Amino acid sequence: MLLRKEDAFQHVLCMSLSESSLEVSAIKRDTKTISFHQSLTFEDFNREAVQAAMTIPELTYDYEAFCATAGGMRNTLIPVDLFNHTKPEDVFKLNYPTPIDNLDYNRIPELGIVNIYELPLWMKSLFVIKFPRVKIIHPVTVMLKGVFDQPTFSPKIHIHIDENSFYLLITAKTKLQYFNRFEFTNLADLVYHVLFVLEQKEMDQKKMDVCLYGVSSKWAQLSELQGFFANRIKISDKPEMSDRFLQSKQLLCV
């Protein structure tokens, strides 16, 4: 996919930072399609290593807007009413042990919740210095906005697969019924966690759709995963709704 410099103004530059790569996508605002994508990889996860990888010319273009997902794996979701009467540090300490890195937060008004998360200062300064107009959002914030940008009345299981972990969301009646992140090393781990949660919440998976994100529709383990669910797993053929879900849904944040 090629992007001409003179066409950049019609696009939003959307980036996703993880411990092994920076995913870069130029997404056209009106069609919500990816015109350019490149994965920039690095062996060490620090400011110097990430900065050294950010050398492609597409990062120098003048886009309509700039957005990036970044932050630590530790986050907590709280009702906005509670957030308005407490300090983020106090809430975070209830869920995670010290030491706690620099905290930031994103409001998600459509759900009435606030996402509090760790955002190391080196990540924040890296993006702000290179892209002064950038809006930094936590991946979970984009994920929630993306999921609820779709119909959520009928009960659904949403699974977003990352490198060594996955997020599990359960929605029903336009509400978030469950949210958590699990680490996994193989498919058996993933299936165990999902089925255990459903059992604990007394939910019948036969009455629920299963939506998969973070991998493409050609994912090698898709057929094996399907064997554990009664209903056909829904995964889009379009990268904007599958493996590039976190980049394309950044449009909802800018």
Q: What is the pLDDT of residues 141-168, one digit of tens each?
A: 999 999 999 999 999 999 999 988 999 9
> Model-level pTM greater than 0.85?
yes
Cis peptide before 99 (omega within 30 of 0): yes
CB 113 within 8 A of CB 79: yes
Confidence of residue 234 (pLDDT cuts 50, 70, 90): very high
Please give the pLDDT value at position 163: 86
Sheet harboring 33-41: ordered strands across?
A: 33-41, 21-28, 11-17, 65-69, 134-137
pLDDT of residue 221 exceeding 90, the answer is yes
Instruction: Tell me which architecture the domain covering 1-71+119-137 has in CATH.
Output: 2-Layer Sandwich (3.30)
Q: What is the pLDDT of residues 182-215, one digit of tens each?
A: 999 999 999 999 999 999 999 999 999 999 999 9
For the segment(s) 149-245, the CATH number from 2.40.10.340, 3.40.630.30, 3.30.420.260, 3.10.20.30 is: 3.30.420.260
Please give the pLDDT value at position 243: 95
Please give the pLDDT value at position 98: 87
Q: Where are the domains of the chain?
A: 1-71+119-137, 76-118, 149-245
Please give the pLDDT value at position 2: 85
pLDDT of residue 248 exceeding 80, the answer is yes
